[in-house]
Structure 1
Amino acid sequence: MLRIPATLLSLLLLHFELGTVSAKPGRRPKYTVDENNNIINNYNDLYTLNLTVAGTVFNVMLDTGSTDAWVAPTDTDVLSGNFTDTGAVAAIFYGDGSNFVNGTVGIAEVEVAGQKIADQAFINVLNSVGEEFDQEHGVIGLIGLGFDGPSGDIPAALTKAGYNGSEVGKSVLTNIFDQNPTFGRFFAFSLSRVGDVADSADASLTISGYDDRYTAVQDAPLLLQHPPNSGMWSVQTDDVAINGVTIPWISSSATSPKAPKTVLLDTGTSNILVSQELRDAIYSAVPGAILAANSSIPNPNFNQDNDVWVIPCDTPVNLTVKFAGLDYPIHPLDVTDVSFLVGPDGNNYTVCINSVTNGGSVLGENLDALYGDSMLRNVYTVFSFGNETTPPHVQLLSDTQTDEAAQDFALVRSEILASSPLELSPQDIINLFDGPSSNSSDVPSSTSSSIGTTTPTPIQTSATASSPTETASDPPSDDNSADLSKVTSGKPAVNLADSDSTTSNSDSAAAKWGPIIVGLLGANLLVLLVLTFLGVMNYIRGGRTTGASRAVNASYVPVKLKDEGVPRRSSFERYND
């Protein structure tokens, strides 16, 4: 849950002149509450629900990647009821420790999903760094749905303060199970997708029971926790397939491609994280997709490197994950993300990029992949803590039909593209943002500045060929989009020098404007150095105090929990409000 430092990210955005267009064209992700007021979908990036603590309702994130619960009261959201402040100091650090929440452990009546717990331990957050963006958007807490243990932050803090931490510091789920001994010790999720044709199928969280629509999940194979007693919702998975072709995938802990891989199922992470090799194998099989190495094109999801795959927006990526020999197709809308970016030329562009990203060191030694919400939206998932005869396990029921998903993708993307800024070909958008490379002669140039077909293009690395020169036309607008008349001005996306200009004209222009240009460049460099110095100083201060500043679009980075080695959540606010 480590974020890119806000001030440094602001400088990066300034330097590359990148940003998110304020217009929100077409059918787009949005904030929605399911019909049972059970789970709240926040732009497909994170899922929350209402947790009542000491009489106050908090909107908190659901996280199967952690266990403890915490809330961060504000001036308007105060703990109005009675609660006991134990005085036990607890802190949860993320990443290198620069992002954290801390406070004292409180004990109060808690209500969630219709269940009341008389004495529930939670962290009453007094200070935080890195949570400001969530809190400004109404998410002011977290409820962990992972495994209990004496080494958890709350139990350990209580034990240190003289309490019986293992007993007093039980998680919310454990307390619910303990006060209902005849209940099965499991819970089940369905996660909605907003922005598709169905426009948010009802999501649900059921404790010790099943959603009536998905009772067939009881017949699904048991995916046992792996490694056993790991304290995580990690299981073994098979290979993945792209467009029906299986991609061999070697586990980091094995040498045979047939060996099972270990994947963590985490509702607190927005997307799918895999190795760099698997990510590149997936998107290299997509017609027209091109890899931009070390690119300045931003990816809204966590990505260990700066490599970005640019994909034609109307090209579906048909990804299938496999468990216990069964196929679980992923909706094409969950495999590519649409971004609206301001290019270096000042014009706005529609760019589609990979949502399956390089997890890198986040995965650690014991995980081969992390499947977040973009995968979990496609299945109904049962998380079982097991019993005397059956160890902890997960069951999955596929909820995505391939043919329906293909039709859904085609309709949704056509609506978005009809009212969005100009979309260039992948090669041209890479040229625009990253510039032509030294080996541009080895790569064929795109013949069109916009995408009208999905004709396959050779898979390329980095930015090559010349910049686009065709005239951009104004995209149509609708009620869902702002006035886009300023998005494309009818001028070429990039102004290139006239190849027929004479030498004398060039010399004259250089003599006239050269000193002025040099002066302006020097002034810009001075401003950038000043901003960098101020940004670094603000970051240093922000890392030690509450309320550090944030960038317009904060990128939440999943990292290993400092003491437990458990990857944490990530999410991304894709639109300005």
Structure 2
Amino acid sequence: MPPFATSILSLLLLQLQLWPVSAKPGRRPHYAMDDNNNIVNNYNDRYTVNLTVGGTPVNVMLDTGSTDAWVAPLDEITGSFKNTGASASIFYGDGSNFVNGTVLTGQVEIAGITIPHQAFINVTNSVGEESDVAQGIFGLVGLGFDGPNGDIPSALTAAGYNGTDVGKAILTSIFAQSPDKGNFFSFSLSRVGDVHDSADASLVISGYDPKYTAVQSSPQLPQFPVGGGRWSVVTDGISVGGKDVEWEAYGSPVPKGQTVVLFDTGTTNFLVPPEVRDQIYSSVPGAVLAKNSSIPNLKFSEDNDVWVIPCTTPVNMTTKFGGQIIPIHPLDLSDMVHLKGPDGKQYTACIGSITNGGSILGRNLDALYGDSFLRNVYSVFSFGDDKTLPNVQLLANTETIEAASDFFVVRGELLENSPPELAPEDIIKLFDGPSSVSSSSSSSSTSTSSGSTDSSTNSNSGSQANSDSSTPSSGGSLPECTVPAGSDALSNGPNSKSSVNLADNGSSSSSTSDKYGPVIVGLLAANLVLLLLVASLSVVNFVRGGRTTGSTRNPSYVPVKLKEDGPRSSFSMTAHTGYSD
């Protein structure tokens, strides 16, 4: 095993060895860091920072879904630390993934802030962290609510210490050092692989990114339930193409039409009930549902149902919080993938990235909104004070029209050098058999948008599948699946901050513009009415730049770090139906 990377530079070199980069001159690879090497976008999948532990820098994930900190570098950490002798474990999700080790205390530095005596777990054993290690991620910093029932405080208390004091979380330690600065943090998450490679990421503790100070005027969304120990709030729902999605809250005492969602940077996508997922994608022209499919979901899902979408058809979706409409970039709502068919040929497909959260959503929680949502807002998470209860503020930073144009250019570029794309019904028949598609599973069995029609025509010109003779390969073997380079599916002192300022590499080549210009114009025209409707509702808010749980864990500490298993360059059904860290 290679020695522990002692700098972000060496981690970058490791990334470049493990992952392909885009061949397009205007497209940045799915890995970006800010100029100060403070915050890193790992393929739109993980957001990490440099945590210095006793002089040893460790690349760790930011996780709003948990609280405690742990590190697991490949070599032993150095420095002067006190070994408390307390053993601690953190279990994620359904408990099948975990880390355990010994609680140490010592000097820790994050975002330029030094904490002299910080407790963390020095991990000696873990299950389910392999894919993070492969990306050069060797730990985690929780940004959730502190309390005596956390794993580190509980372990220290059991070992005879004052667990609440000695085992307080990193944010709690920072707030205690500067009590006059405010008990909150704010961040934006970047998106790489779009036209502008908008790696505009920042993390600010007890302050704001100067570009987003307008967030202070956004409505305060109170934590729900108050004292629930997690970053969950009430949402006013989801709309697709201007039409509201019907969504009943699961056991939560909220007004009709409202539901409870948890903001979690440890989750890559939207996790919702299956009926909500199906309503969203059934509203997309040309989208078809493959029930219990052999086509892999590229994000975690509790079932094997897959929505296949024409690659050049955007999902026009908005969310609503406190009366504020927040558009979601279409690139965050579907993933492009190359599949090897049972006929031995390669095909391109686009898969809906909103998936079934199932039992992971748990009690009194209706959805997890992960990075796919948080990339579209600037977020402020306040723990509250003597006058204010814990709350979240959101500022939309995605513009509907610009995002749609961005989507068409990116997808056009990717399709230019991809295997042929079949119509959704045909790709499902190819992998799941000719009887797998019924009229009820298609959102539009006879008509699609101009974008999906053009895409199918162009895609089939290269290779036409015979659906009558195409069936899944014998023995139920799974399709080989790769994510194209540049795709969006390669599937965190008081005034200190880490920010991203990456130069714009341009958008697309002239050949791409010439080839796809008419298609883009046609698609924009076809979707213009819906886009203008959404834009008219949301423009005032823009500032540019089933379900049960058996858990008995105290609700003040709810780790819900989600991750798809396996490397991003090769997928199988096994890799995408498991629950990992």
| Normalised-by-shorter TM-score class | 0.7 to 0.9
Q: Does 1:226 align with 2:216?
A: no
Q: Does 1:563 align with 2:557?
A: no
| Preserved contact between residue 429 and residue 437 of structure 2 (Cα < 8 Å) | no
2:248 alignment partner in structure 1 = 250
Report the Cα distance in structure 2 between the residues aligned to 1:256 and 1:562, rounded to whole angstroms: 23
Report the Cα distance in structure 2 between the residues aligned to 1:157 and 1:419, rounded to whole angstroms: 54
Q: Does 1:412 align with 2:402?
A: no
| Preserved contact between residue 51 and residue 109 of structure 2 (Cα < 8 Å) | yes
Q: Deviations over 1:87-144 (max 9, x none)?
A: 1011112345432111100111000001000000000000111112211221000000
Give the match's secondary structure for 1:387. coil
Q: CA deviation at 1:561?
A: 7.1
2:384 to 368, 383, 386: 386
Question: Where does the alignment leave 5 or more consecutive residues of structure 1 unmatched?
Answer: 1-20, 458-467, 475-489, 499-520, 529-552
Report the Cα distance in structure 1 between the residues aligned to 2:20 and 2:420, rounded to whole angstroms: 15
Q: Structure 1's 439 and 275: CA in aligned 2 closer, same or farther, altered over 3 A?
A: closer
1:424 alignment partner in structure 2 = 422
Q: Structure 1's 91 and 214: CA in aligned 2 closer, same or farther, altered over 3 A?
A: same
Letter in 2 for 1:34: D
Report the Cα distance in structure 1 between the residues aligned to 2:177 and 2:63, rounded to whole angstroms: 22
Report the Cα distance in structure 1 between the residues aligned to 2:459 and 2:323, rounded to whole angstroms: 50
2:568 alignment partner in structure 1 = 574
Report the Cα distance in structure 1 between the residues aligned to 2:264 and 2:227, rounded to whole angstroms: 17
| Preserved contact between residue 24 and residue 575 of structure 1 (Cα < 8 Å) | no
Bigger-Rg structure (1/2): 1
Report the Cα distance in structure 2 between the residues aligned to 1:469 and 1:317, rounded to whole angstroms: 20
Q: Structure 1's 22 and 290: CA in aligned 2 closer, same or farther, altered over 3 A?
A: farther
Report the Cα distance in structure 2 between the residues aligned to 1:277 and 1:447, rounded to whole angstroms: 20
Q: CA deviation at 1:157?
A: 0.5
Report matched runs for 1:106-505 at 5 Å: 106-253=104-251, 258-437=256-435, 453-455=451-453, 492-494=464-466
Report the Cα distance in structure 2 between the residues aligned to 1:361 and 1:396, rounded to whole angstroms: 27
| Preserved contact between residue 424 and residue 451 of structure 1 (Cα < 8 Å) | no
State the number of aligned residues.
476
Q: Structure 1's 99 and 560: CA in aligned 2 closer, same or farther, altered over 3 A?
A: farther
Q: Structure 1's 24 and 343: CA in aligned 2 closer, same or farther, altered over 3 A?
A: farther
2:508 alignment partner in structure 1 = none
Report the Cα distance in structure 1 between the residues aligned to 2:220 and 2:440, rounded to whole angstroms: 51
Q: Deviations over 1:337-369 (max 9, x none)?
A: 111221222211111011111111111121111
Q: Deviations over 1:233-289 (max 9, x none)?
A: 001110211011122322112699834211101111000111111111111000000
Structure 1 range deviating more: 179-188 or 252-261: 252-261
Q: CA deviation at 1:82?
A: 1.2
Report the Cα distance in structure 1 between the residues aligned to 2:271 and 2:29, rounded to whole angstroms: 21
| Preserved contact between residue 34 and residue 203 of structure 1 (Cα < 8 Å) | yes
Report matched runs for 1:50-129 at 5 Å: 50-75=50-75, 78-129=76-127
Q: Structure 1's 98 and 470: CA in aligned 2 closer, same or farther, altered over 3 A?
A: same
Q: Deviations over 1:9-45 (max 9, x none)?
A: xxxxxxxxxxxx9896754761110234221000001
State the TM-score, normalized to the length of structure 1: 0.76
Give the match's secondary structure for 1:74. coil
Q: Structure 1's 439 and 351: CA in aligned 2 closer, same or farther, altered over 3 A?
A: closer
Report the Cα distance in structure 1 between the residues aligned to 2:341 and 2:570, rounded to whole angstroms: 17
Q: Deviations over 1:43-63 (max 9, x none)?
A: 001100100011100000000
Give the match's secondary structure for 2:452. coil
Letter in 1 for 2:168: K
Q: CA deviation at 1:496?
A: 6.1
Report the Cα distance in structure 1 between the residues aligned to 2:554 and 2:339, rounded to whole angstroms: 37
Give the match's secondary structure for 1:454. helix
| Preserved contact between residue 95 and residue 560 of structure 1 (Cα < 8 Å) | no
2:514 alignment partner in structure 1 = none
| Preserved contact between residue 100 and residue 124 of structure 2 (Cα < 8 Å) | yes
Q: Deviations over 1:518-569 (max 9, x none)?
A: xxx9xx97x99xxxxxxxxxxxxxxxxxxxxxxxx998xx999773463612
Report the Cα distance in structure 1 between the residues aligned to 2:396 and 2:111, rounded to whole angstroms: 24
Q: Structure 1's 419 and 141: CA in aligned 2 closer, same or farther, altered over 3 A?
A: same
State the TM-score, normalized to the length of structure 2: 0.76
| Preserved contact between residue 271 and residue 375 of structure 1 (Cα < 8 Å) | yes
| Preserved contact between residue 252 and residue 365 of structure 2 (Cα < 8 Å) | no
1:504 alignment partner in structure 2 = none
Give the match's secondary structure for 2:164. helix
Report the Cα distance in structure 1 between the residues aligned to 2:568 and 2:449, rounded to whole angstroms: 23
Report the Cα distance in structure 2 between the residues aligned to 1:55 and 1:317, rounded to whole angstroms: 46
Letter in 1 for 2:568: R
Q: Structure 1's 293 and 155: CA in aligned 2 closer, same or farther, altered over 3 A?
A: same
Report the Cα distance in structure 2 between the residues aligned to 1:141 and 1:156, rounded to whole angstroms: 20
2:495 alignment partner in structure 1 = none
Question: Where does the alignment leave 5 or more consecutive residues of structure 2 unmatched?
Answer: 1-18, 478-488, 492-546, 572-581
Task: Give the share of equivalent positions with the same residue, in percent.
Answer: 59
Give the match's secondary structure for 2:196. coil
